[in-house]
Amino acid sequence: MNTESDLFATYLRRSVVAFSFSVTSLVVCPAISYAEEVGLDTARIEQLTGLTGSYDAKEGVFTVRYPRSDLDVNAGGIHITAPFGLTAWAAFTRTGPHVTVMGDMVMLEDQVNPVMSVALDSGLQVTALHNHFFWETPRVMFMHIGGMGAEEELARAVGKVFAKIKDTAGGRGETLRAQIDPAKTTLNPDPIAEILGVKGDLGKGVFKVTVGRTTSMNGHNMGKSMGVNSWAAFSGSDDRAVVAGDVAMHEDELQSVLKTLRANRINIVAIHNHMTGESPRIVFLHYWEIGSTRDLATGVKAAFDLARD
């Protein structure tokens, strides 16, 4: 027969067990749920990108890599191997309900614009394009990409970019060649100025137009004459000309300008900054293309229209 004290002790033991189970449910279950919420389907990312990767558990980042061991690069007499910086990569991490990807694509010059078009058409952002070496042969360019969205869509887009790099390797990209000497320029600048809606100057066989923008540094306005400007320079004939130029953009204008120039088959050769500490921040995009002056001016005009104060 249980005494009153025995019954009370049993009640206490049962209460402690129940409380322990309740605390475990509150603490452990949300932790498991949270781990599932922030996880990445690394096997699926590998499948869609066609590359193997590694997971950094501390930072929650899964990275796939593509060493460009197919490239034979020499920089000033030094043999540059993949661990020396010739490895393309893309890193995935979960940011709230979305996944964010960032990466750096390693390519030869002829691969840059075909690969860039695939990245843009697949919904990725292109955020920088530049070199990492001096005196290298062949020349190597580095294109940074980014994006935020569904894991499946991002991984599929990145997979298309890597596939295009592989498809255009070995000299199967785009190379522009033309015999144009500014000393023999015959182009008519008037139609170019009319299309661009900007007056320009013809000198030494080059017709150049410049459109200023404004930003602020240390409380002072910086504009056209300080180098905050977009410009286009044309040389050659009306039917066969070259255009080289620069577009000065706010950060939120970059992607639309890139897409517009590529849609007009104008090649991008660099994306970078020219200054630091300015507000709003100005990104500069250098471009280059060969064609008729009318086609070239039309493409440049479309980009300029997206980047005006």
Using the structure block, give the residue that is written with the tokens 């990108």: 49
Asked whether residue 6 carries a pLDDT value surpassing 90, the answer given is no
pLDDT of res. 264 = 98
Residue 233 has a CB neighbour count (10 Å cut-off) of: 16
pLDDT of res. 174 = 87
pLDDT of res. 177 = 87
Residue 235: both structure tokens together: 């040389």
**Of 237 and 17, which is predicted with more confidence?**
237
**Of 270 and 33, which is predicted with more confidence?**
270
pLDDT of res. 189 = 98
CA atoms of 37 and 23, how far apart (whole Å): 21
pLDDT of res. 176 = 84
CA atoms of 94 and 180, how far apart (whole Å): 50
* CATH 3.30.1460 in the chain, residue ranges: 42-167
Could you read off the pLDDT of 118-134 as tens digits, one per residue?
A: 999 999 999 999 999 99
Could you read off the pLDDT of 164-178 as tens digits, one per residue?
A: 999 999 999 988 889
pLDDT of res. 51 = 98
What is the reported pTM?
A: 0.86
- Contact (Cβ atoms closer than 8 angstroms) between residue 200 and residue 208: yes
Confidence tier at 33 by pLDDT (50, 70, 90): very low
Q: Which CATH number fits domain 42-167: 1.10.3210, 3.30.1460, 3.30.70, 3.30.2290?
A: 3.30.1460
Mean pLDDT of 155-163: 98
Confidence tier at 34 by pLDDT (50, 70, 90): very low
Could you read off the pLDDT of 180-222 as tens digits, one per residue?
A: 999 999 999 999 999 999 999 999 999 999 999 999 999 999 9
pLDDT of res. 1 = 44
> What long-range pairs does 256-260 form, CB within 8 A, spacing at least 24?
256/306, 257/285, 257/303, 257/306, 257/307, 258/116, 258/120, 258/126, 258/285, 259/120, 260/299, 260/302, 260/303, 260/306
Could you read off the pLDDT of 243-274 as tens digits, one per residue?
A: 999 999 999 999 999 999 999 999 999 999 99
